[in-house]
Structure 1
Amino acid sequence: MSNKRILFVCPYPFDEAPSQRFRFEQYLAILKENGYSYQLKPFFSLYMWRILYKKGKVISKAFGIFIAYIKRFFLLFTLYKYAFIFIHREATPAGPPFFEWATKYIWKKKIIYDFDDAIWLEDPNETGTFKSTLKWKKKVKKICNWSYKVSCGNQYLANYASQFNKRVVVNPTTLDTENLHKISINNTELQSKTKVTIGWTGTHTTLQYLQDVIPALEALELKYDFSFLVISNQKPDFNLKSLKFIAWNKTTEIQDLDLIDIGIMPLSNDIWSKGKCGFKALQYMALAKPVIASPVGVNEIIVEDNVSGFHAETKEDWINALEKLLQDEALSIKMGLKGLQKVEKYYTVKSNKNNFLSLFQ
């Protein structure tokens, strides 16, 4: 049925980027079960995505981006086949929203606009740069206005979108606790562990947030024997004797996360961070790990202070919270189970299924 055909217009190749995997890709089977058909059209090819952030290959990158823009233009001529055009973040990474404008005003299609960051703001890492100018941040409010519905990862983002569109849905980033984020029962590495592992996961762009926690970890190293595990696509250069590093790997992602006993999610208290959707905290909680998080934005809601973990702002807060969990394994287990209960109630594919499907109704 043509009224149940969906085109997903997204930046990244299928099953490569967390923002896509946990916002809409894990719902694709559910869409099929409910009679929808779909196609995915990423901006970056798999080859381009794998070389994009590596040094060199400038000509290959430039040519690949040029071809991607050409493909986006010709994609417009296929829109007649679809009832809904689901746009995750943006149709193109730079320049004006020509694709979104044409979708709305030439093809008159229903746009579902989805984002999980404060993408209308300058990324603090890019403030004042030419790259930031190219991203054309002012287009976000226009796309919100042109959309049939706007899907936002949290209430802070929804409040922004509501200025330009009356049909805004808070669609949280969710986890598949039935098939993916499951607690390990027979993990021999866990069973043979002799010390507690404090852990963090994220990309190289968010490693900066750990700087606020390093002084607390340095102080705790003088009193306790623990490991500090960083799971990322880039090895950090922190001068910590407790530091352990695992390169992020999609196939071992959950096994690696399960090595953590205490998950941390520090953030800076600024308007950019308020747009974050608490994904790291949710990943820890889905594996029954207690979480210590900066009480910024949605973190305050996801991580309940003294229930599923602790809120921490100052160096002393981080030391006190970590020390409580390092000293009390029973408390750590209790908080981890409380966090898991919350995830299962509010932040799973199963609990959010009908909310996601409502975007296409």
Structure 2
Amino acid sequence: MNKKKILFICPYPFDEAPSQRFRFEQYLSILEKEGYEFKLAPFLNLKAWKILYQPGNSIKKLFWLILSFINRFFLLFKLAPYGFIFIHREAAPIGPPLFEWAIHSIWRKRIIYDFDDAIWLEDPTEKGSLKARFKWKSKVKSICKWSYKVSCGNEYLAQFAQNLNKQVVINPTTIDMQYHKEIKVSNSDKIVIGWTGTHSTLPYLKILMPVLDQLRKEYEFELLLISNQKPNFDVNYMRFLKWNKESEIEDLNQMDFGIMPLTNDIWSKGKCGFKLLQYMAIKKPIVASSVGVNKKLLKESEAGFEANTDKEWKEAIIKLLNDAELRQTFGISGQNYVKNFYSVNTNKKTFISLFQ
């Protein structure tokens, strides 16, 4: 066993999923410079990942799911060289934590357990479904107990983990300022209000659509929506861009300011505010629901407005639509804040400490 060798067990292929890219993948080069060796072991390979969220293909999906479980089983016989096993979210997307139990109880490996959502709770979009039952949410508590250290994206998640494990590290989701850069792009004459996120978070934006519809009757603006899937709603002032890692930063820079509506519930409190960090990193002002870590980011960054009611959302958006100077001031403040507190550079010592 080599304490400088790490196996990263994760759900998705390398460089494909935001949670992995910004939770640990962007630190791999830093680990390498510190003398660590590592290997990634995703549950899904690239072929499986590409069909997972496509409609149909049920037989192919079942085939890849079974094959992925088989590969996980054989992985258990390859753990000997590793000093640390870093598990991001879970070793398998469904079923009890059999793999995690084997890693802890049979192999006696040091597990670093990492998560950036309240994954022990039932996702509101899946509540009561068969899918929710198969996810076996109770396993999160067990994995926390078995872990050498638990890496949590914010204080709310850490409070949960601290009841189960004495070594909990608040390891925020961070921004690589060399990647998230402000660049000039050719925009339309209209102010662009931006939102980005995966398809699973689109319901939060949908809640805000009546407010935007009302504002659009009086003000000229465009809603830019960047996601991995088209929304199930459409309006004539909305422009959809399919998320593309090759053009991600250029697409984000088309915004004049970014929004992040959330519902005020225990699931949302587990969110790590990554949308806001992305907006701020490229010098875009923000309007967001002050739920969970959003409240902290809004207060400390002074980069925009909090909005929790329809009236507050309208007032905040109108101010940013009408005042270019205010947008610039908020943008500078937010960018400095991310650079000083939520960048890879400022957090690298915390990340490396997980393996010490």
Please give the range of the TM-score, normalised by the shorter of the 2 chains.
Answer: over 0.9
Deviation of 1:170 (Å): 0.4
Aligned 8 A contact 2:289 2:307 in 1: yes
Aligned mates of 1:67, 1:233 — CA distance in 2? 25
Distance of 2:210 and 2:132 partners within structure 1? 32
Asked if 1:282 corresponds to 2:281, the answer is no
Distance 1:350 1:48 in 2: 33
Aligned to 1:169: 169
Aligned structure 1 segments of 4 or more residues deviating by more than 4 angstroms = none
Cα deviation, 1:307-340, whole Å, max 9, x if unaligned, reads 2100001111110000011111101110011111
Question: Distance in 2 between the 1:226 and 1:337 partners?
Answer: 22
Residue by residue, what CA displacement relative to the aligned partner does 1:199-258 show, whole Å, maximum 9, x if unpaired?
Answer: 101111111111232122112112211111111122235453321111111100000000
The SS at the match of 2:23 is coil
1:88 is displaced (CA, Å) by: 0.2
Match in the other structure for 1:189: 186
2:301–2:334 Cα contact (<8 Å) kept: no
| 2:137 equivalent in structure 1 | 137
Name 1:113's counterpart in structure 2: 113
Which residue of structure 1 aligns with residue 265 of structure 2? 270
1:91 counterpart residue number:
91
With structure 1 as the length reference, what TM-score do the two structures score? 0.96
Cα 1:332/1:52, change in 2 over 3 Å: same
Q: Distance in 1 between matches of 2:87 and 2:301?
A: 38
Local SS of the residue matching 2:186 = helix
The one-letter amino acid of 1:270's match is D
Q: CA shift at 1:61, angstroms?
A: 1.0
Percent identical pairs in the alignment equals 57
Whole-Å Cα distance in 1 between the matches of residues 98 and 185 of structure 2?
53
Equivalences for residues 1-361 of structure 1 within 5 A: 2-178=2-178, 180-184=179-183, 187-190=184-187, 193-304=188-299, 307-361=302-356
After TM superposition, give the deviation of residue 58 of structure 1 in Å.
Answer: 1.3
Give 1:3 shift: 1.6
Measured against aligned partners, the alpha-carbon deviations of 1:90-110 in whole angstroms (never above 9, x if no partner) come to: 001111111111111111110
For residues 6 and 93 of structure 1, do their structure 2 counterparts lie closer, same or farther at Cα, with a shift above 3 Å needed? Answer: same
Q: Which runs of 5+ in 1 are unaligned?
A: none
User: Is 2:283–2:334's contact at 8 Å kept on the other side of the alignment?
Assistant: yes
Normalising by the residue count of structure 2, what TM-score does the alignment of the two structures yield?
A: 0.98
Q: CA RMSD in A?
A: 1.3
CA distance in structure 2 between the partners assigned to 1:302 and 1:173 by the alignment: 13
Q: Is the 8 A contact 1:200 1:263 kept in 2?
A: yes
